[in-house]
Chain A
């Protein structure tokens, strides 16, 4: 059950520096449960840095980070995965030499328990769990629409399929928030359209989606709200059609002194 008014993720005053470079300067935003939230901005605006902070790959220098009622100050990726944040990467990072099914099964890691002793003894609970993991992985494979033998190696999938597999792997962690870094980059129009349908059905299944995207059409057609980053600052936020007309946004994208 989603609550439209509940803030799932709230960031306030997030700063991140790399040496003398300010990648994120005082960024505050919140994402409501059940919405599709878009993050756009020119190259180098800090979108991916923000993603890395949200998923624990980077630690922020200042600011607060509240997810699903819990405060995360310095956190590790596996703990955020446990809390319910999953992501995909701009440059696909699958486990290339593992099978399609196994990639998704790794995603079940965070929701399963059998340790090394259970695996060595192969007791009944370990075996049952292993079967459940495989079963759930097959369902997800079907859900994202990959029709391949389950033992196909991930590296042998087409580009579009690899993107879908990455989404399936992220969904296997049962996330509350699914963060996608440029999911349609490099896709053709047909692939983009079917991915859009997939994202809508993910949202309809109650998962909140955070999206970095350059494809303006996709953002406009899909997102409930959009934030615009430029030089590490949030320069606009709101409904896509309003943001599109915002003078600051136009200036950021076209350069110069618009308005």
Chain B
């Protein structure tokens, strides 16, 4: 078995998930200048809703393909509603407040959502149903599963769709205009509040898909799963240059690869002293390194571009 190739595949799969979640962070940051730390919990809620929906549908003996599609749809709708509500209730009243206020609120929202999820779904780990045999494919000495293949393909589709939407449509233009200059956009007839709501809903829809993906990949769902995933995706967004959509995608994939290769080789490199359980350390090394050496990220713009 080719360890290197295997780690590349694992990294790409994990990176696709990071990229989808990082897009949610970066879109909200681009438009409001706010780090929505509750975004990771939206991913968790997406996974939980998909779990319940799958359990119910499979219990009713619905065809597996249909059950998966419907559950994904239900999770997306639930997360969009959640994203809309979070913005409306927690962030909009603080639109003109000092920047620290919404940031702390975001952490508060995150705790509230985690606790609510714990009350609804309990503290235990849930097995995510797998209605299909997850068959394996050999790729030049490494292995990729159906689920992993699905993750990469769906993520690619969603990201190209998002890019088209943002660069080739009236809505996307309005969104970029609000990000550049809200008051000028408003004077062009753009309803800023609507654009902001739509941005949160769009990011949450991507989060729901990401939640479904990680659950299907690992087969496990837990109320705390959004926390670490959210931090990693935030790191990916910073790595690519927060506020930059292409940066979020690049940062996501790169972070996935760094983590996966790091976890794969840290044992050899440290003579067995560190194991692959140190995987999470890499993400935060990356975060610190980026913040120290290139705070604007790989594709970010210089902040003071024009006086």
Q: Which residue of B lies closest to A172 (CB)?
A: B188
Tell me the minimal C-beta distance from B43 to chain A in angstroms. Answer: 21
| A68 in contact (CB, < 8 A) | no
Q: B183's contact among A77, A107, A130, A173, by CB below 8 Å, is which?
A: A77
A30: CB under 8 A from chain B? Answer: no
Interface string of A46-65 (1 = CB under 8 A from B): 00000000011100000000
- Rounded to whole angstroms, the CA-CA distance of A129 and B306 in the bound complex is 34
A112 CA / B180 CA spacing, docked (Å)? 21
Q: How far is the CA of A35 from the CA of B190 in the complex (A)?
A: 28
Residues in B whose Cβ lies below 8 Å from that of A120: 161, 165
Q: Quick one: given A95-B176, A96-B306, A120-B161, are A169 and B170 in contact (CB under 8 Å)? A: no
B189 located at the interface, meaning its Cβ lies under 8 Å from any Cβ of chain A in the complex: yes
Give, as a whole number of angstroms, the nearest-CB distance from A43 to chain B.
Answer: 21
Q: Could you tell me if A109 and B180 are in contact, using CB atoms closer than 8 angstroms?
A: no
1/0 per residue, CB under 8 A from A, across B151-190: the answer is 0000000000100010011111110110011011111111
Q: What residue of chain A has the Cβ atom nearest to residue B173's Cβ?
A: A106
Distance between Cα atoms of A87 and B184 in the complex (Å): 9
Q: A93-B183, A119-B165, A120-B161 are in contact. Are A110 and B189 (CB under 8 A)?
A: yes
Closest chain A CB from B100 CB (angstroms)? 24
Q: Which of A21-29, A78-86, A193-201, A239-247 contacts B (4 or more CB under 8 A)?
A: A78-86
> Is chain B's interface secondary structure helix, strand, loop, or mixed overall?
helix
Asked whether A119 and B171 contact (CB < 8 A) given A57-B183, A77-B183, A95-B181, the answer is yes
Determine how close the nearest CB of chain B comes to the CB of A174; give it in whole angstroms: 10
Q: Does B171 lie within 8 Å of A86, measured CB to CB? A: no
**CB proximity to B under 8 Å, residues A104-122:** 105-112, 114-116, 119-120
Q: Interface of chain A, helix or strand or loop or mixed?
A: helix
B192 an interface residue at 8 Å Cβ cutoff?
Answer: yes
Task: Please determine whether B171 and A116 come into contact, CB atoms closer than 8 angstroms.
Answer: yes
Contacts of A86 in B (CB 8 A): 187
For residue A97, CB closer than 8 A to chain B, the reply is yes
Q: Give the total number of A-B pairs whose CB atoms are below 8 A apart.
A: 98
Cβ–Cβ contact A109 & B186, under 8 A: no
Give min CB distance, A100 to chain B, whole Å.
13
- Cβ–Cβ contact B184 & A95, under 8 A: yes
Q: A78-B190, A78-B191, A106-B190 are in contact. Are A119 and B170 (CB under 8 A)?
A: yes
Contacts of B188 in A (CB 8 A): 78, 81, 106-107, 109-110, 169, 172-173
Please give the distance in Å from A167's CB to the nearest CB on chain B. Answer: 13
Interface check A102, CB cutoff 8 A: yes
Q: Which of these, A89, A129, A170, contacts B170 with CB under 8 Å?
A: A129
Further 15 A-B residue pairs, CB within 8 A, beyond A112-B170, A119-B172, A126-B169: A78-B192, A81-B186, A93-B183, A95-B180, A96-B180, A106-B173, A106-B177, A114-B169, A115-B171, A116-B202, A119-B165, A119-B169, A120-B161, A130-B168, A173-B188
Chain A residues within 8 Å of B, Cβ to Cβ: 55-57, 76-78, 81-82, 86-87, 89, 93-98, 102, 105-112, 114-116, 119-120, 126, 129-130, 133, 155, 169-170, 172-173
* Subset of 26 A-B contacts with CB under 8 Å: A57-B187, A78-B189, A78-B190, A81-B189, A93-B183, A93-B184, A95-B184, A96-B306, A97-B176, A102-B176, A106-B173, A106-B177, A106-B185, A107-B188, A109-B173, A109-B177, A111-B189, A112-B170, A116-B165, A116-B171, A116-B198, A119-B169, A119-B171, A126-B169, A155-B306, A172-B188
